[in-house]
Structure formats: C-alpha cells, structure tokens
Amino acid sequence: MTPKILIIGACGQIGSELTHKLRSIHGKDNVIASDISYNNLDIVNSGTFEILDAQDYTSVKICIDKHQINTVYLMAAMLSATGEKYPLKAWDLNMDSLFHVLNLAKEGFIKKLFWPSSIAVFGPTTPKENTPQYTIMEPSTVYGITKQVGERWCEYYHNQYGVDVRSIRYPGIISWKTLPGGGTTDYAVEIYHKAIADNKYECFLSEETELPMMFMDDAIKATLDIMDAKPEAIKIRSSYNLSAVSFTPKDMTQSIQKHLPDFTISYKPDFRQKIADSWPKSIDDSNAREDWSWKHSFSLDDITNEMLTNLKKKEVETN
C-alpha cells in the first residue's frame, strides 16, 4: 500500500515535525497537512494544507475522500494544563476527534491509524519508578482520562472491527522547532529558550520533580517505527509505554550550566506541580523494545547540546 497520509493537528509541536519527516520520506504530494487554523506558516507553505476541524466528522470524511487518504495521524489534542482550565472542551476535542477517525477506519475509509497516548494515563496511585506497561491507572487530569479512555476504545475497535490502530504513550517531548502548548512538561522546552534569551529561568515545577522525557527526533522515530512495523508485531493495541530519559529541573540546570555556567534557575511551582506529582518518574518500555525494536538515542546532555545549538542558530538567523 502506498501511504496517502493525512496529519490532523499538523501545526502543533509533534505534528509539525512529523509532517516534515513524512514529506521527506513519502513526497509532499502524499502527505496532506491539516489543522484548525493557519498558525504554522512553515507547514502551511510546505505542501498541501487543509483547514480542518477534527471535531467535524463530515469535514474529516470529505478531506479523506478528496485526497484518497489511507493513513491518518491524529495529533490534535488539548494537553494536560489547558485541559484543567477547560475540562469539557478537552473531553469533547480529544474524544470526538478520536471517535471520528476510529469510525472512519471501521467503515474502511482509513486503513492505518496513529493516535498518541501519554504518560498522563497514569495517576497518583500508579507505581512511580519504572512504571510497568500493565499497572494501576487512575489518572487525575481530564487529559489523562481522555487518553486512558481513548486507549480502551482503540483496543476495542481493533478487537471488534479489526481497525489497524497503533499508539504510544509519549513522555514530555523536547524540541526547538515548534513550541509545545498547554502541557505540564512544557517547562523542559521553555528552560532552553530562557537560558538563551535571559540566562535565567523561573520554573513552574519544583527542583526535584522527576518526569520521563524524550527528544523530538526520538519521538518521531518511535512514531515512524511503530507505524512501519508489521501488524502482527503490534501486540498491544491500547498503547505502548515509551521511554528515553528521566530528569528533574535541577538535572536540566546542571546540564545547561555545562554550556552556560552563569545560568540560574528559581522555582515557583503552580497548579501544574500537582499534575506532575501524579505522573511516573520513569517508565518501563520493554514491550516496545521487544515487539518493534524501539531504541532511543538522545541523553539529557545530547538534548541540551541540540537545543542550545539550534536555538542559538535560529536566533542568529532571525536577527
């Protein structure tokens, strides 16, 4: 099957880099980007782009028909911190969009579907260290609830209707091209921007808050790897634990200080601290490593190096 791909939520942090990567692999005519608005001109101007409301079933179906799409990446979602401000909106966006694509796959209009889950499926009663694939899951955020319920529906649609849906539980994703929006792990991107701009950062999480994190290149690789795997290799049809590195704001500070010795950090935890405290510190992703040979590449110091180098370059180019 030659993939004819639709990315929903292509202007976001992960969607934008996934769009570029998929276009470089399959050619820009085979990868249609879509989002609710033109808020990432780089994506809008780099190939076919459609304005698409992921909550509107008819529009999604028309777009799929028009471009003869067979593969969909549903990257639109409201993340954990924003979701706590607009709980019902988060529920509606995250669930409506998933049901639309699951139903289109059930009807045969989509052959293969990627839908991201998150470490937010875990909650305060989950074991925090090396969190297993199968464990207690009592998420306390609306975002986490939508992801946990979504996982159940993905597995159900696979078992009942044979839908080829594949999913991973992303940790916090760190990247320099497109900013994240509305997540609890966003501090781990902001810190690099502020390090370059001001040589200091006020962190909204406390210094010892340890969370699972990953560099964007690893996240994109995992996404492509699971989508390229043979269907029989994908033994988990809810969502796979996925892990790379775990660290605290204090660890990040030390890593940044290797490049910028005068960089300082202060701490002013806000409502996001409670969310972070409910999530695992580290993740056991041995199923992903065994089933489809997942392997990460970037350590914290590698990430710091990439972030500072590329953000500095970007700053020079824009000045």
Q: Work out whether the CA dihedral 100, 118, 298, 12 comes out positive or negative.
A: positive
Distance CA 268, CA 104 (A): 45
β-bridge partners, 310: none
Q: Is 3 within 8 Å of 71 (Cβ atoms)?
A: yes
Extract the tokens encoding 236: 């988990």
Extract the tokens encoding 114: 């990627």
Distance CA 80, CA 144 (A): 7
For residue 118, state whether it binds ligand SER (rule: CB under 6 A).
Answer: yes
For ligand SER, which residue of 33, 120, 242, 245 counts as binding (CB under 6 A)?
120
Taking the complex as a whole, how short is the minimal distance between the CB of residue 48 and ligand SER, in angstroms?
28
Ranked by CB distance to ligand SER, the top (closest) residue is 183
Extract the tokens encoding 18: 């996934």
Taking the complex as a whole, how short is the minimal distance between the CB of residue 171 and ligand SER, in angstroms?
7
Which part of the chain contacts ligand SER (CB under 6 A), choosing from 114-122, 216-224, 236-244, 253-261? 114-122
Taking the complex as a whole, how short is the minimal distance between the CB of residue 185 and ligand SER, in angstroms?
4
Distance CA 149, CA 158 (A): 14
- In terms of CB distance, is 47 or 171 closer to ligand SER? 171
The amino acid sitting at 162 is G
CA distances from 10 to 170, 206, 224, 255, 270 (A): 17, 32, 15, 31, 30
Distance CA 29, CA 31 (A): 6
Binding-site size for ligand SER (CB under 6 A) equals: 11
Q: Is 65 within 8 Å of 6 (Cβ atoms)?
A: no
Taking the complex as a whole, how short is the minimal distance between the CB of residue 131 and ligand SER, in angstroms?
14
Which part of the chain contacts ligand SER (CB under 6 A), choosing from 118-126, 195-203, 228-236, 302-310? 118-126
CA-closest candidate to residue 189, choices 281, 87, 310, 80: 310
Extract the tokens encoding 256: 């940044």
Extract the tokens encoding 105: 């796959």
Taking the complex as a whole, how short is the minimal distance between the CB of residue 300 and ligand SER, in angstroms?
17
DSSP 8-state secondary structure symbol assigned to residue 107: T
Taking the complex as a whole, how short is the minimal distance between the CB of residue 60 and ligand SER, in angstroms?
23
* Relative orientation angle of helices 57-66 and 87-106, to the nearest 10 degrees: 40
Taking the complex as a whole, how short is the minimal distance between the CB of residue 278 and ligand SER, in angstroms?
11
- In the shown chain, the binding pattern of residues 67 to 106 toward ligand SER, with x for contact by CB under 6 A and - for none, equals ------------xx--------------------------
In the residue annotation, 161 being an active-site residue is answered as no
The footprint of ligand SER on residues 170-209 (CB under 6 A) is: 170, 172, 183-185
Q: Which of 57, 86, 134, 143 is catalytic?
A: 143
Extract the tokens encoding 270: 């806000």
**Pseudo-torsion of CA 178, 182, 184, 190, nearest 10°?**
40
Residues found near ligand SER in the complex (CB under 6 A):
79-80, 118-120, 143, 170, 172, 183-185
Supply the residues annotated as catalytic: 143
